[in-house]
Amino acid sequence: MPEPQPGDGPRADGPEAGAPTGGGPAAPSRRAVLGWGGAGLALGAAATGGAVAVFGGGTDVVPAASSGAAVPFHGEHQAGIATAVQDRLHFAAFDVTTKDRAELVALLKEWTRAARLMTAGLPVGEGGFGGLPEAPPDDTGEALGLKASRLTLTVGFGPGLFAKDRFGLEGRRPAALVDLELFPGDNLDAARSGGDLCVQACADDPQVAVHAIRQLARIGFGRIAMRWSQLGFGKTSSTTPDAQTPRNMMGFKDGTRNVSGTDREALEKFVWAGPSDGSDWMAGGSYLVARRIRMHIETWDRTSLREQEDIIGRDKGEGAPVGKSKERDEPFLKAMKPDAHVRLAHPDTNGGATILRRGYSFTDGTDGLGRLDAGLFFLAYQRDVRKGFVPIQRELARNDSLNEYIQHVGSAVFAVPPGVRDKDDWWGRTLFA
């Protein structure tokens, strides 16, 4: 029997329950809590304590959602990248419809204000009720009474924003933000690809994540239009590798070797853009590749266990690499088949290319042919797309035996700017100010 899947639960809510950071990198989080703090964070801390008391300490599994903690919004980097992965996702990509740079800047400032409130567990504007009966409330209200649920909101800028004669940003497009080539096997749907802006909303409660995207879309109407969005559940990668690695829709543990949110050295090397990388405004930011990867679930399920394990390069029960006994044993790549997924995706196969993954499973009902429309919504953060996703995907698209069971159907890239530092700062200031 597989072990229970507590995710980040014990980490966030058990032994470290005193820190209301949801298990994120300790130092900046605590500083932020002591700094601008505020009622939302204090409540989050109290709620965490309460949950632990009720569940009798750190030995029992506490559902992460019951902690309700708030993740600090302000910081050097945007939350939602290296911070502990939550259980649910609502990701949205928008087209910018306004031609006016000032309107775009105003939108980003309004978004920042709203995000600051929502990530603290508070409603937007003047709230969801109590105002004029004749007018719609500022906040739509479906998250009233729900906790902050570790909501993080992470904003990214797509290549279109830097186009010529648009917002005067053509000279500021980072070289690391490349237009992805078409990889073999791609079957990309334009209606699920691209976008000028993206918002990644992660939370332990799906309603909190959906609420956040809905508010931001509403604030933006007339300046932006929703292009596509994706709901996700059951995180398939962990940024807290000491926790149990979650399983993907194929039943395999996914993301065992993901970059840890506490491994500062690896984050600096592979995830955070530096001031010397060519775009000074991106220092402290990162680059995001989002791919909607459809899985042919039915044919996968008809595949023998041995073939499944050969294709992945790990065993299904423990998740140990071929020839090893424990999940976290160092993989011996040559023991795997030449077209095994783990072998091809491994940094050693790709000249050291390493990315931070934050993918989620998705199930969008059933397609017209009666097949489950399910798979992996893959999110990868890296310091430079040319050195992260691109070489890895080139290798995989060409050789991976898993390709028989998956298809990339959506794709987008974004430059994710550095974090909002304090209450006067706003998303994108370093680019637009």
Residues forming contacts to another protein in the complex (CB under 8 A) are: 97, 126-127, 129-136, 218, 221-223, 225
Please list the residues that pair with 102 across neighbouring strands.
Answer: none
Strands of 22-176, DSSP E? 88-96, 152-157
> Which helix (H) or strand (E) is 429 found in, with range?
helix 429-432
113 vs 218, which CB is nearer to another protein?
218
Q: Which is nearer to another protein, 104 or 420 (CB)?
A: 104
- Residue 131 beta carbon to another protein: minimum distance, rounded to whole angstroms: 7
CB of 224 to another protein, least distance (A): 9
Query: Using CA atoms, how far apart are residues 373 and 292, in angstroms rounded to an integer?
Result: 11
Nearest to 244 by CA among 14, 86, 9, 83: 9
CB of 98 to another protein, least distance (A): 9
Which of 34/135 has CB closer to another protein?
A: 135
Min dist CB 126 to another protein, Å, is 7
CA distance 10 to 58: 6
Kindly tell me which of 1 and 135 has the beta carbon lying closer to another protein: 135
Q: By C-beta, is 134 or 330 nearer to another protein? A: 134
| Phi and psi at residue 162, to the nearest 5° | -95, 5
Q: How many CB atoms lie within 10 A of CB 129?
A: 12
Distance CA 357, CA 381 (A): 6
We find the least distance from the C-beta atom of residue 104 to another protein, in angstroms, to be 14
Q: Which two tokens stand for residue 128?
A: 């969801």
Nearer to another protein, 217 or 397 (CB): 217
Distance in Å, CB of 127 to another protein, minimum? 7
Annotate 261-271 with b (16+ C-beta within 10 A) or e (fewer). Answer: bbbeebbeebb
Cα(233)–Cα(252) distance, integer angstroms: 15
Least Cβ distance, residue 128 to another protein (angstroms): 10
The 8 Å CB, 24+ separation contacts for 165-169 are: 166/99, 167/101, 167/104, 168/101, 169/431
Of the pair 136, 368, the CB lying nearest another protein is at 136
